[in-house]
Homo-oligomer: A and B are copies of this chain.
Amino acid sequence: MDFQNYFPVWSKLSAAQQNLISGHLMSRTISKGTVIHNGSMDCTGLLLVKSGQLRAYILSDEGREITIYRLFDRDMCLFSASCIMRSIQFEITIEAEKDTELWIIPADIYQSIMAESAPVANYTNELMATRFSDVMWLIEQIMWKSLDKRVAAFLLEEASIEGTDKLKITHEYIANHLGSHREVITRMLRYFQNEGIVKLSRGVVEITDTKKLEELSDQ
């Protein structure tokens, strides 16, 4: 198995710890659109992405969403195993944004190894610090950047992830990422279209002036 190539502290584990993980590791293929974990469900385990794309978001009581972070190849998701730390007092939902291959390390197995292994505990610390940095960035965006800049930054990020300027996304999809409403996003995109920055058609937002979009997003 090539799990060991994806798990950075594998070589720091004892033979017994390596066997423990190998013996309990689960491999899964998840279809695009599937919700893998949601806050109210059981402690799913740690997810290590082999290939694909996951999105972690929070949900309001009214069903509004906001994307907290995304996970790509080689990324590991800690908060799908929030039971491993009692101080994790929030709930996130994780869904596959693309068809995704991943490994699941059961939470209790990971927890027992983390308790005795300084390298694994420190690796976990770095993972959490990375997500923490994502979330701090998000707060700054929400508090201090106006929505036009956030939409611009989001379109640029999507174009970069997808490797194309012709984005197959709905206005609803953008609203869900940014914690906004579809109507508000539609209005903003029409304004962008009038400015010659994007071209809108059914289910597609095409970036026609990347430079202007970059200026707008302050990047």
Contacts and interface: CB of A to CB of B under 8 A. Distances in A.
A95 B130 CA distance: 24
A126 B87 contact: yes
A85 interface: yes
Contacts of A135: 132, 135-136, 139
- Number of copies of this kind of chain in the complex: 2
Interface in A71-87: 85-87
B85 A126 contact: yes
A89 interface: yes
A83 B139 CA distance: 21
Contacts of A131: 132
Interface of A, secondary structure class, is helix
A125 B85 contact: yes
A124 B125 CA distance: 7
Nearest to A134: B89
Interface string A100-132: 000000000000001111100110111111111
